[in-house]
Structure 1
Amino acid sequence: MTDSLDGTVALVTGASSGIGQAAALDLARHGARVALVARRTDRLEELAGQIGSEVGADALTLTADVTDREQAQRAVAQAAEHFGRLDTVVNNAGVMLLGPAVDAPLEEWERMVQLNVTGLLYVAHASLPHLLRAAEAGPRQVADLVNISSVAGRVARNGSAVYNATKHAVGAFSEGLRQEVARRHVRVSLVEPGAVATELASHNRPEVQEGMNRRFEGMERMEAEDIAEAISFVVTRRRRVAVNEVLVRPTEQEG
């Protein structure tokens, strides 16, 4: 079946909540064994239990901060060693800290660059050798690196300059890498969600949260499961099909 991931292994970063959590569960439902990576061990263990009870699939929990190069490399290595292979990587871990650039806390900018860009690069770099091997000899003879960006990676907005910069960087990296490994059947895809009802916005300062609430007031936001379905669609295509980029907005979101 086209949508079966039986015999494959997926690694998902930021799996302790939101899109990462939903993506890991959905990939398991498609037949993948899943490695769950995040900093919150208790949330990972809860998700692993859910995957085991609902799907009957094997899930490995890996507590790691992917902004630390050694931790990111170790998580990828442990997943590949435990399962014997790595076919799919969902680079989801990220943070969105918005607000005016003037007088912004510099620590917020540093945190976004470290997680949204550097952490994503660490995971991609560590994963690529495993993905290339999986594409050469695997049940599907294709492998997937899915980088989670944002509509902010396409459209720059007042009040999100640095977040825009990090997500544009993800897009540029993804496209350059896609061209490099396409002939080796490693598909590099970019998923760009619009407004999703997750805890991502709660990391902002109160005054920023108030502005976000006003912007999206009355709008039905997407759920994490909506993006998880998009990710699963991307990675379950036949070997000859690569979905390079998916922009997913709520029906009512204009920009």
Structure 2
Amino acid sequence: MPLRLEPTFRDALAAADRPLIGMWLSTGTALNAEICAGSGIDWLLIDMEHGPNTVVSVQQQLQVIAAYRVPTIVRVPVNDAVIIKQVLDTGAQNLLVPMVGSAAEAQAAVAAVRYPPEGVRGVGSGLARSGRWGRVAGYVPNASETISLLVQIESADAVDAAADIAAVDGVDGVLVGPADLAASMDLPGQQSHPDVLAAVQRVFEAVTAAGKKVGVNAFDPAGADAYLAAGAHFLSASADVTILARGAEALAARFIPTSGADETDTY
């Protein structure tokens, strides 16, 4: 079996002639993952940080998505070498590490995705889907070729360190999280506040200057358009749960009459 199992997200970004648009998979189900994989979306992200995803559900989703050859990122819940090792063993080739606030934390993430001597990833590919249970010749010495790493900037301190984070060898791209960034700036729920937008722009400029790719979360269409115009190389535009929730609400609003505004309780 060839070493390169699928093109990585790093490869997709390098080959793209436009920003790549993706969406979150937050339900933890392989069925929803397959439905979204066939949608024509550029990339998917399986979310272990805020979604009910486990190592088992991640592997199942990667297996069904593989039929559609859509680059798929897995966001681990924390920058932890053990969790990263387990997720990589499921066959994940693209990782997003959240809440990276310094170059040292980015370096730790890089070490976690690489085998020794370059890193600290535990060797178990003969038992795992990553090396197709020992069927991928040369997997261990060359595994880093099959993996791309993104880190997420989500705090005011991380914005200040963006240039240093992006400069870390082994970091392929940076994703900005405006929601947590706004909260860290004492502006919770105000992702479109001018100060937040200015901070995101600073990250864009720092990461691009370092020669790396930069993306952003933007579930609001107007905000997404603005970030694309500002130079985002990739963007997450929605999530499976968001599409389901808004679609269900729209269906209910279309067919079910609301109660009169002047009704009052009679008890």
Same fold (TM over 0.5): no
Higher alpha-carbon Rg: 2
Structure (1 or 2) with the greater helix fraction: 1
Q: Which TM-score band (shorter chain)?
A: 0.3 to 0.5
Q: TM-score, normalised by structure 1?
A: 0.36
